[in-house]
Amino acid sequence: MSQPKTTKHRILDAAEVLFAERGFKETSLRAITTAADANLASVNYHYGDKKGLIRAVLGRYLDQFIPEFKQELLSLHQRDEFDMNDVFLCTKQPLLRLNSFKNNGTTIFMSLIGHGYTDVQGHLRWFITTYYDDVIQLFVTAVRRAYPCLDPETLFWRLHFTLGASVFTVVSSTALFAIAANDFSSRIKTEDLINRLVPYLAAGVTAPIALNKELL
């Protein structure tokens, strides 16, 4: 028989659901405490404030995702040669395993990441770059090795376009699966979605630089 959840974990679980559905800005602490059957003082006691709670919610997923992602990147860097497809495939298994951590974990994680940017949560950028900078640098170095001609500004934009496409695709996966089944009689899973997404992302990041400048 499972033990009842503590107040701390009820708050974290309620916040996760509401943040993923509504975003960080649109979710009040009152809504979270009501869903968790807790009071505001307990949020302050366990997490300090709303920013601390947001970091705790996202950190729970990052602590699952980052170690596996880091291992994938370290293995990739041992190879003499690899391409952009290989770089983005490093995210595949770590993302899929989030579904084992939590039901629908991959979608929840990507939704939280997306809200972190659309809600302009600057403290989350600080949190991620402070605690997970070594993995970020491994990823960026892999991208540069796969396509060395990218200048820093172009790399910045292309990686953010990549993040936007990834978040939209994964968060919209339920609707996309239904459309694929209805229009093409295709039974798609999350793994299939990632397999289709990776070549698209790789092609976008490695688009010719000259063409990019002509369009500016």
Q: What type of residue sits at position 65?
A: F
Kindly state whether residue 7 falls inside one of the protein's structural domains: no
CATH code where residue 94 lies = 1.10.357.10
For residue range 34-62, list pLDDT tens digits in order: 999 999 999 999 999 999 999 999 999 99
On whether residue 1 sits in a domain, the answer given is no
Q: Is residue 94 part of a domain?
A: yes
How many domains does the chain contain in total? 1
Residue 74, token pair as written in the block: 């370290």
Do the domain assignments include residue 10? no
Specify if 43 maps to a domain: no
Average pLDDT for 113-139: 85
For residue 126, pLDDT beyond 90: no
Predicted confidence band of residue 1 (pLDDT cuts 50, 70, 90) = very low
Above 80 in pLDDT, residue 4?
no
For the segment 149-158, what is each residue's pLDDT rounded down to a tens digit? 999 999 999 9
Domain coverage including residue 189: 59-206
Q: Is residue 24 part of a domain?
A: no
Q: How distant, in Å, are the alpha carbons of 32, 98, 180, 182 from that of 64?
A: 23, 7, 30, 34
The helix-helix angle for 7-22 and 29-36 (nearest 10°) equals: 130
pLDDT of residue 117: 80
Q: Does any domain span residue 137?
A: yes
What average pLDDT score do residues 87-111 get? 95
- What DSSP letter does each residue of 62-107 carry, written as one string? HHHHHHHHHHHHHHHHTSS---HHHHHHTTHHHHHHHHHHSTTHHH
Q: pTM of the full predicted structure?
A: 0.89
Query: What's the mean per-residue pLDDT of the chain?
Result: 92
* Residue 51 lies inside a defined structural domain of this protein: no
